[in-house]
Structure 1
């Protein structure tokens, strides 16, 4: 069985897609994984690590005052990085890794945002484990979403 990154590489190459990522919670780990894909230089536009709210707002045009752990933020991050890097599709990660709650959000509360030429949105995940496990699971789930988009109508 092919891994997510192998499937992503094939779909991106076969469909002529360019892909971008925006990361808060995962701090560049998603981009690192995507960059391992076969011929990634041909289809991976790049990524933006937007950990601080000022970066989210100034670089990726997340509206001021948006909760960083929200569907609205995740969607805005994906739209922003897609526009900035002129890619066909983008996925974004944001949330609370833990071990403590933040701003009323439990540890492991994660949002994945996506944006294509025709649609955008977000999905909420509630992940278990210590901060490292939450981040690793978030990367796995973001790769799953990228594959779904790349193989589908992305």
Structure 2
């Protein structure tokens, strides 16, 4: 399959990960992914970008609830109280994975891809969280469609959230009076 690339031939054009990988490379910052419902799909979308090795530290796929605590450092009491599909769990995944992987940014996904609801949470409920140098952010998404569509849409939304946070960090770092 032919993939159209940008002018320097380094990044696929239109890839949702390409812009954010490029921005992180310019900032000389690193990224880790911490995934539940996306099961490695987020990492796969990032590593398809040529030159990503200077940015991507690695990731954790913590599909089982106990691995969220054991590998990503999510507090067990939080998981016991709220379950794995929760905004605070998403934040804890992003923060814990960021620390464990030694990255500047942690990007996490958790949710219910289906086909059945989980612990009273509806199919399509997804949380994406980003932890970075200036703090954390979490978003809730209510996605429609089948399992594959929900997982793919979760990747796109997580990357969009990361891109927004990186862009906001660029704006915040710009000297007063300069165009960002």
Match of 2:90 in 1: 74
The answer to whether the 8 Å contact 1:108/1:127 transfers is: yes
Q: Does 2:48 match 1:36?
A: yes
Map Cα deviations across residues 90-118 of structure 1 (whole Å, 9 max, x no partner).
11000001122111111000000110122
Specify the SS of the correspondent of 1:68.
coil
Provide the TM-score with structure 1 as the length reference: 0.94
Partner Cα distance (2:162, 2:116) in 1? 29
Partner Cα distance (1:133, 1:9) in 2? 23
Q: Does 2:164 match 1:148?
A: yes
* Deviation (angstroms), 1:2: 4.7
| 1:56 counterpart (56, 59, 68) | 68
Question: RMSD over aligned Cα, in angstroms?
Answer: 1.4
**Higher RCO, 1 vs 2 (CA within 8 Å, ≥6 residues apart):** 1
Map Cα deviations across residues 37-64 of structure 1 (whole Å, 9 max, x no partner).
2311111011100001111001111111
Matches within 5 A, 1:18-37: 18-37=30-49
Q: Structure 1 regions of 5+ residues with no counterpart?
A: none
Matches within 5 A, 1:1-154: 2-64=14-76, 65=80, 66-153=82-169
Provide the TM-score with structure 2 as the length reference: 0.81
* Deviation (angstroms), 1:36: 1.3
Partner Cα distance (1:22, 1:9) in 2? 16
Map Cα deviations across residues 52-101 of structure 1 (whole Å, 9 max, x no partner).
11110011111111420000110000001100011111110000011221
Residues matched between the structures, number: 154
List 4+ stretches of structure 1 deviating above 4 A: none
Match of 2:4 in 1: none
